[in-house]
Amino acid sequence: MNYTSAEANILVQALPYIQRYYGKTIVIKYGGNAMIDEELKRSVCRDVVLMHFVGMKPILVHGGGPEISALMRRIGKEPEFINGLRVTDAETMEIVEMVLAGKTNKGIVAIINNIGGKAVGLSGKDANLIVADKAQTEVDLGYVGQVAKINPGILVDLLEHGYIPVVSSVAIGPNGESFNVNADHIAGEIAAAVGAAKLIMMTDVPGIYRDFSDKSTLISELTAAEAQRMIESKQIDKGMIPKVEACITALAGSVERAHIIDGTAPHALLVEIFTDTGIGTMIVP
Amino acid sequence: MNYTSAEANILVQALPYIQRYYGKTIVIKYGGNAMIDEELKRSVCRDVVLMHFVGMKPILVHGGGPEISALMRRIGKEPEFINGLRVTDAETMEIVEMVLAGKTNKGIVAIINNIGGKAVGLSGKDANLIVADKAQTEVDLGYVGQVAKINPGILVDLLEHGYIPVVSSVAIGPNGESFNVNADHIAGEIAAAVGAAKLIMMTDVPGIYRDFSDKSTLISELTAAEAQRMIESKQIDKGMIPKVEACITALAGSVERAHIIDGTAPHALLVEIFTDTGIGTMIVP
Amino acid sequence: MNYTSAEANILVQALPYIQRYYGKTIVIKYGGNAMIDEELKRSVCRDVVLMHFVGMKPILVHGGGPEISALMRRIGKEPEFINGLRVTDAETMEIVEMVLAGKTNKGIVAIINNIGGKAVGLSGKDANLIVADKAQTEVDLGYVGQVAKINPGILVDLLEHGYIPVVSSVAIGPNGESFNVNADHIAGEIAAAVGAAKLIMMTDVPGIYRDFSDKSTLISELTAAEAQRMIESKQIDKGMIPKVEACITALAGSVERAHIIDGTAPHALLVEIFTDTGIGTMIVP
Amino acid sequence: MNYTSAEANILVQALPYIQRYYGKTIVIKYGGNAMIDEELKRSVCRDVVLMHFVGMKPILVHGGGPEISALMRRIGKEPEFINGLRVTDAETMEIVEMVLAGKTNKGIVAIINNIGGKAVGLSGKDANLIVADKAQTEVDLGYVGQVAKINPGILVDLLEHGYIPVVSSVAIGPNGESFNVNADHIAGEIAAAVGAAKLIMMTDVPGIYRDFSDKSTLISELTAAEAQRMIESKQIDKGMIPKVEACITALAGSVERAHIIDGTAPHALLVEIFTDTGIGTMIVP
Amino acid sequence: MNYTSAEANILVQALPYIQRYYGKTIVIKYGGNAMIDEELKRSVCRDVVLMHFVGMKPILVHGGGPEISALMRRIGKEPEFINGLRVTDAETMEIVEMVLAGKTNKGIVAIINNIGGKAVGLSGKDANLIVADKAQTEVDLGYVGQVAKINPGILVDLLEHGYIPVVSSVAIGPNGESFNVNADHIAGEIAAAVGAAKLIMMTDVPGIYRDFSDKSTLISELTAAEAQRMIESKQIDKGMIPKVEACITALAGSVERAHIIDGTAPHALLVEIFTDTGIGTMIVP
Amino acid sequence: MNYTSAEANILVQALPYIQRYYGKTIVIKYGGNAMIDEELKRSVCRDVVLMHFVGMKPILVHGGGPEISALMRRIGKEPEFINGLRVTDAETMEIVEMVLAGKTNKGIVAIINNIGGKAVGLSGKDANLIVADKAQTEVDLGYVGQVAKINPGILVDLLEHGYIPVVSSVAIGPNGESFNVNADHIAGEIAAAVGAAKLIMMTDVPGIYRDFSDKSTLISELTAAEAQRMIESKQIDKGMIPKVEACITALAGSVERAHIIDGTAPHALLVEIFTDTGIGTMIVP
Asked whether residue E275 carries a pLDDT value surpassing 90, the answer given is no
Report the pLDDT value the prediction gives residue F262, as an integer from 0 to 100.
96
CB-closest option in F7, F19, F266 to D116: F19
Average pLDDT of span C82-88: 87
Chains near C with 3+ CB pairs less than 8 A apart are A, E
Report the pLDDT value the prediction gives residue F269, as an integer from 0 to 100.
95
Chains near A with 3+ CB pairs less than 8 A apart are B, C
Judging contact as 3 or more Cβ pairs under 8 Å, the answer for F and C is no
Average pLDDT of span F115-137: 97
Q: What is the pLDDT of residues E148-187, one digit of tens each?
A: 999 999 999 999 999 999 999 999 999 999 999 999 999 9
Asked whether residue E1 carries a pLDDT value surpassing 80, the answer given is no
Whole-angstrom distance, CA of residue F33 vs CA of residue F36: 5
Report the pLDDT value the prediction gives residue B4, as an integer from 0 to 100.
87
Most E-contacting residue of C7, C43, C113 (CB-CB within 10 A), to test interface: C7
Q: What is the pLDDT of residues F241-267, one digit of tens each?
A: 999 999 999 999 999 999 999 999 999
Report the pLDDT value the prediction gives residue B239, as an integer from 0 to 100.
85
Least confident of B78-82, E151-155, E281-285: B78-82
Pairing verdict, β C25-30 and C57-62: parallel
Amino acid making up residue F165: P
Residue F204 CB contacts under 8 Å (≥ 6 apart), including other chains = F32, F33, F34, F262, F263, F264
* Mean pLDDT score across all residues of chain D: 94
Whole-angstrom distance, CA of residue D29 vs CA of residue D280: 14
- Model confidence at F101, in pLDDT bands (50, 70, 90)? very high
Q: Which residues of E touch C (CB under 8 A)?
A: 1-5, 7-16, 18-19, 22, 43, 46-47, 49-50, 53-55, 115-116, 265-267, 270-271, 274-277
Report the pLDDT value the prediction gives residue F85, as an integer from 0 to 100.
85
Q: Which CATH number fits domain F22-284: 3.90.1580.10, 3.40.190.10, 3.40.1160.10, 1.20.120.790?
A: 3.40.1160.10
Query: Do residue B157 and residue D154 have CB atoms under 8 angstroms apart?
Result: no
Higher per-residue confidence, A193 vs A274: A193
Chains near D with 3+ CB pairs less than 8 A apart are B, F
The number of C-beta contacts closer than 8 angstroms across D and F is 124
Query: Do residue A126 and residue C120 have CB atoms under 8 angstroms apart?
Result: yes
Asked whether residue B157 carries a pLDDT value surpassing 70, the answer given is yes
Judging contact as 3 or more Cβ pairs under 8 Å, the answer for F and E is yes
Q: Helix (H, G, I), strand (E, B), or coil: what is residue B60?
A: strand
Report the pLDDT value the prediction gives residue D1, as an integer from 0 to 100.
64
The CA angle C264-C267-C270, to the nearest 5 degrees, is 130
* Most confident segment among A82-86, A247-251, E6-10, F238-242: A247-251
DSSP secondary structure string for all residues of A223-247: EHHHHHHHHHTT-S-GGGHHHHHHH
CB-closest option in B99, B111, B154 to D176: B111
CB A33 within 8 A of CB A65: no
Report the pLDDT value the prediction gives residue E92, as an integer from 0 to 100.
95
Chains near E with 3+ CB pairs less than 8 A apart are C, F
Query: Do residue A125 and residue C109 have CB atoms under 8 angstroms apart?
Result: yes
Average pLDDT of span E115-141: 96
Average pLDDT of span B171-194: 97
Q: What is the pLDDT of residues D35-93, one digit of tens each?
A: 989 999 999 999 999 999 999 999 999 998 788 999 999 989 999 998 878 999 999 99
* Mean pLDDT score across all residues of chain E: 94
Q: Which residues of B touch A53 (CB under 8 A)?
A: 15, 18-19, 22, 54-55
- Residue % of chain A over a pLDDT of 90: 84
Report the pLDDT value the prediction gives residue D83, as an integer from 0 to 100.
81
Residue E196 CB contacts under 8 Å (≥ 6 apart), including other chains = E24, E25, E26, E27, E59, E190, E250, E255
Q: Which residues of E touch F121 (CB under 8 A)?
A: 101, 122-123, 125-126
Report the pLDDT value the prediction gives residue F57, as an integer from 0 to 100.
98
Q: Which residues of C touch E (CB under 8 A)?
A: 1-5, 7-16, 18-19, 22, 43, 46-47, 49-50, 53-55, 115-116, 265-267, 270-271, 274-277
Is C65 considered catalytic here? yes
Most E-contacting residue of C2, C49, C269 (CB-CB within 10 A), to test interface: C2
CB-closest option in F121, F157, F172 to E126: F121
ipTM over 0.85: yes
CB A112 within 8 A of CB A49: yes
Minimal Cα–Cα distance from E43 to chain C, Å? 9
Is A65 considered catalytic here? yes
Q: Of B97, B25, B26, whose CA–CA distance to B63 is shortest?
A: B97
Is A243 considered catalytic here? yes
Residue of E nearest to C269 (CA): E8
Residue of A nearest to B2 (CA): A275
The domain limits of chain B are 22-284
Asked whether residue A213 carries a pLDDT value surpassing 80, the answer given is yes
Is C145 considered catalytic here? no
Q: Which residues of B touch D (CB under 8 A)?
A: 71, 74-76, 94, 97-103, 105-106, 109-111, 113-114, 118-123, 125-128, 154, 157-158, 161, 163, 170, 172, 175-178
Q: What is the pLDDT of residues D179-231, one digit of tens each?
A: 999 999 999 999 999 999 999 999 999 999 998 888 899 999 999 999 999 99
Minimal Cα–Cα distance from A247 to chain B, Å? 24
The torsion angle over the Cα atoms of residues D191, D193, D197 and D198, rounded to 10 degrees, is 10
Q: Which residues of F touch E126 (CB under 8 A)?
A: 106, 109, 119-121
What H or E segment, with its residue span, contains residue A53?
A: helix A38-53
Average pLDDT of span B85-109: 95
- Model confidence at C135, in pLDDT bands (50, 70, 90)? very high
Average pLDDT of span B58-74: 92
Q: Helix (H, G, I), strand (E, B), or coil: what is residue E108?
A: helix
- Model confidence at C1, in pLDDT bands (50, 70, 90)? low
Query: Do residue C22 and residue E115 have CB atoms under 8 angstroms apart?
Result: no
- Residue % of chain C over a pLDDT of 70: 100
Q: What is the pLDDT of residues C159-216, one digit of tens each?
A: 999 999 999 999 999 999 999 999 999 999 999 999 999 999 999 999 999 988 898 9
Q: Which residues of C touch E10 (CB under 8 A)?
A: 3, 7, 10-11
Query: Do residue E8 and residue C267 have CB atoms under 8 angstroms apart?
Result: yes
Q: Of E266, F37, F136, whose CA–CA distance to C9 is shortest?
A: E266
| Burial bucket for residue F138 (CB in 10 Å: 0-12, 13-18, 19+) | exposed
Asked whether residue C221 carries a pLDDT value surpassing 90, the answer given is yes
Asked whether residue C251 carries a pLDDT value surpassing 90, the answer given is yes
- Residue % of chain A over a pLDDT of 70: 100
Q: What is the pLDDT of residues A108-166, one digit of tens each?
A: 999 999 999 999 999 999 999 999 999 998 889 999 999 999 999 999 999 999 999 99
Asked whether residue B277 carries a pLDDT value surpassing 90, the answer given is no
Q: Give me the active site residues of B, please.
A: 29, 32, 65, 184, 243
- Model confidence at F24, in pLDDT bands (50, 70, 90)? very high
Higher per-residue confidence, B281 vs E1: B281
